[in-house]
Amino acid sequence: MKKIVIAFDAGNYSHGAFEMARRLNEPETILLTGVFLPQMELPQITDYTYGSMGAGYMTMMEQYNAETVAATVAQFESDCVHNGIEYRVHRDVTGFSLDQLQKETRYADLLILGHEMFYANLGTDHPNDYLTETLHRSECPVLVTPEHFRFPSSLILAYDGSADSIFAIKSFAHLFPELCTLKTTLIFASKTVRSQVPDADYIEELCARHFPDLTIEILQADPKNILAPGWPIKKTQC
């Protein structure tokens, strides 16, 4: 059983994030901990003492609305009961909520966030500053979901030869073994035409053990921009 944290800010309930949790509960039951953060506004720029929160970072003053939080919690509890999901409710409205969420992730296997709804009042940028900072400070893997999606029927693993990318692949395999049987593509991107996959034999030996339906591809593209919509790429199958 996994412990999964799902985070909502008051008034912005993400049905997409809950739907992902519901689907993950089907092959193996989970403990779903709902974290309910206070609503925030952007009335001023404040300098926090935390290292990553310097001058110029748009910070927020809490506007705690008990009725709004209660309605969001009630929605979450109703959805969990209806879908037979074991759950807990955590909420903290006394301090800077990002600190509390970071602590929650320290004791979790996975964090799920609905990126379209998470502090949606901060503007239309995706991800907004608060979501970006949450991703940086999370102490467990994070699954970011839109409000409407199709559950994965195939997988893409991003590999650049770094220790971080290998650790991420191994973490995914250990966290979601039930998904590893899906058709899987390991992608290495490079701006160089004749690039080779770094340590190709090693990464193939590792991935093939966890992902039996594996294909390795080289994409001719700038790795920093490969996920940009409409980015022109050329791919070579290995």
Query: Does residue 96 share a domain with residue 12?
Result: yes
Query: Does residue 187 share a domain with residue 88?
Result: no
Q: Please give the structure tokens belonging to residue 117.
A: 């709804």
CA of residue 63 relative to chain centroid, distance: 26
Angle between helices 163-175 and 200-210 (to 10 degrees): 10
pLDDT recorded at residue 122: 64
Helix (H) or strand (E) holding 237: strand 234-237
Per-residue pLDDT reduced to its tens digit, 34-64:
998 876 544 433 444 344 444 333 333 344 4
Q: Which of 110, 125, 145 is the last residue of a domain?
A: 145
pLDDT recorded at residue 229: 43
Domain residues for the domain of 193 are: 154-237
Query: Does residue 126 share a domain with residue 18?
Result: yes
Segment 155-165 mean pLDDT: 93
